[in-house]
Chains A and B, each alone.
Chain A
């Protein structure tokens, strides 16, 4: 699929690559915690399609972000749901796009307010570089260079099939 001059890989193919990387590596009972909303969809499908027993949780990082004064509070804050005990758990945070790393920092901080995990790893569909914090993913579908004036996001159609899309970056 293309958007103008930009070549976007097929998200379903990336998803399969990601799954293949995670399958032999993660704990049998690793918890999958998806960051709303792309990460949440990914976590649900990974939990369904990977072997093992993977309980799923969801995180909204709005309350842990560092940009309240400049970007404001997101208008559709969702509720974080962690239906298992974080204490001593092996957790994989799942997100669609890894960019500056700030969302992941906020997700880790959120998790630690629920308890002390045994380990935390990160799985992302796309790593687009541009890190502003020392954060790295353990499992990556694919790296992708995207112009800084575009936002990259995951979408899902009615049948549950994933696709990558871009939008111009909107400063508030």
Chain B
């Protein structure tokens, strides 16, 4: 490799694509959060629409299914008055052997302005961004186990709402960090915004090699890791992890790493609990906590729309 270009920024330093939080300057993250603040106001009033992206075509290209995430992007785009097209690729031309790049070329020919892409392989949005026409913006809606940047952004937006000052926080991320794109995005967002201590907590089988190099402290004990923490993010544990000798059972996982009220009590009394959803009650999180007053899981969903509106608005307004 001769040099690694930052694909996300154009020559003027404006955001051209949102592919990952890693590599985003702090000023851009803060701008997205500040802009999202205004969109929260829009979402709370009677007319939840602004004409900002009127006439723009946004294509949701989900190579990996997720009705949830796709719906929030659709709502965000529509509240900006954009036209939305949903491409469920599992049932479309890629099944007939069309390559990912041919699919993108065809969609560009239909005058798309923005692609929102989710793919099972890490790095797929980078391939798309490298081959997209110059005026098209690419938003990564989740690529393999690499990143889910809009989720990372809405998580820090939520944290900022409740905690205000990042530079005084201790944040713990609990669970299957190895397979989690949400965890990676959150780690990069928190460290960039100046959170002094980011912890990851999980069994060794679910922690990536050399994860400390990302600037986090590793704990394998939930009790130790939660002491004095201001924010706890619980990651979803997928059923597939129970095969392949990563974990013996959901119930053993819950006994060691599940967030119960007793374990949560080890954190600060005003600690907040985040979860990217959907939750597996009784596997990573106890219902008492999920429905308790420290959980901010539903506000995360609300803020998710405002954050995605902010991302789309900023991308559409960047210089060519």
Residue positions of A touching B, CB distance < 8 A: 60, 62-65, 68-69, 71-73, 75-82, 109, 113-115, 172
Instruction: Report chain A residues within 8 Å CB of B45.
Output: 82, 113-114
Q: Is the CB of B319 within 8 A of A172?
A: yes
What residues on A are CB-neighbors of B316 within 8 Å? 68-69, 73
Instruction: Flag if A77 contacts B319 (CB, 8 Å).
Output: no
Q: Which residues of B contact A (CB under 8 A)?
A: 14, 31, 34-35, 37-38, 40-42, 45-47, 49-53, 313-314, 316-319
Q: Is the CB of B46 within 8 A of A79?
A: no
How far does the Cβ of A57 sit from chain B's closest Cβ, in whole Å? 12
Q: How far is the CB of B289 from chain A (nearest CB, A)?
A: 32
Chain B nearest Cβ from A156, distance in angstroms: 22
Which residues of B have CB within 8 Å of A63? 38, 42, 50-52, 313
Q: Among B14, B47, B314, B317, point to the contact of A114 (Cβ < 8 A).
A: B47
- B317 and A72: CB pair below 8 A? yes
Of all chain A residues, which has the CB nearest B35?
A77
Contact B34 A69 (CB under 8 A): no
Residue of A nearest to B12 (CB): A172
Question: A76–B32 Cα gap in the complex (Å)?
Answer: 10
- Asked if A81 and B41 sit within 8 Å, CB to CB, the answer is yes
Knowing A60-B38, A63-B38, A80-B38, say if A73 contacts B47 (CB, 8 Å).
no
In the complex, are the beta carbons of A76 and B34 less than 8 A apart?
yes
Q: Which 7 A-B pairs have the closest CB atoms?
A: A73-B317, A72-B317, A63-B50, A113-B47, A79-B38, A79-B41, A77-B38
Of A64, A65, A78, A79, the most chain B CB neighbours within 10 A belong to A79
A40 to B318, CA, bound (A): 27
For A62, what are the chain B residues with a Cβ–Cβ distance below 8 Å?
A: 38
Decide: A114 near B51, CB < 8 A? Known: A77-B34, A77-B35.
no
Does the CB pair B51–A64 fall under 8 Å?
yes
Provide a sorted-by-A list of 23 A–B residue pairs whose CB atoms are within 8 angstroms.
A62-B38, A63-B50, A63-B313, A64-B50, A64-B52, A68-B313, A69-B316, A72-B317, A72-B318, A73-B35, A73-B52, A73-B314, A73-B317, A75-B31, A78-B38, A79-B37, A79-B41, A80-B38, A80-B41, A80-B42, A113-B45, A113-B47, A172-B319
Distance, CA A79 to CA B41, complexed state (A)? 7
A147 to B49, CA, bound (A): 37
Alpha-carbon distance between A115 and B45 when the two chains are bound, in angstroms: 10
Contact of A69 among B31, B41, B51, B317 (CB under 8 A): B317
- Apart from the given pairs A62-B38, A72-B318, A109-B51, 6 other A-B contacts in the complex at a CB distance below 8 Å: A77-B35, A81-B41, A113-B47, A114-B46, A114-B47, A172-B319
Chain A residues lying within 8 Å of B41, measured Cβ to Cβ, are: 79-81
Name the B residues within 8 Å of A172 (CB-CB). Answer: 319
Q: Which residues of A contact B314 (CB under 8 A)?
A: 73
Task: State how many angstroms separate the Cβ of A102 from the closest Cβ of chain B.
Answer: 13
Residues in chain B near residue A77, CB distance under 8 A = 34-35, 38
Interface centre among A60, A64, A69, A78 (most CB of B within 10 A): A69
CA distance A79 to B34 in the complex (A): 9
Q: How far is the CB of B314 from chain A (nearest CB, A)?
A: 6
Nearest-neighbour CB distance to chain B for A65, whole angstroms, equals 8
Q: Report A-chain residues with C-beta under 8 Å of the C-beta of B38.
A: 60, 62-63, 77-80
Contacts of A78 in B (CB 8 A): 38
How far apart sit A60 and B313, CA to CA, in the bound complex (Å)? 15
Interface centre among A68, A79, A82, A109, by most chain B C-beta atoms within 10 angstroms, is A68
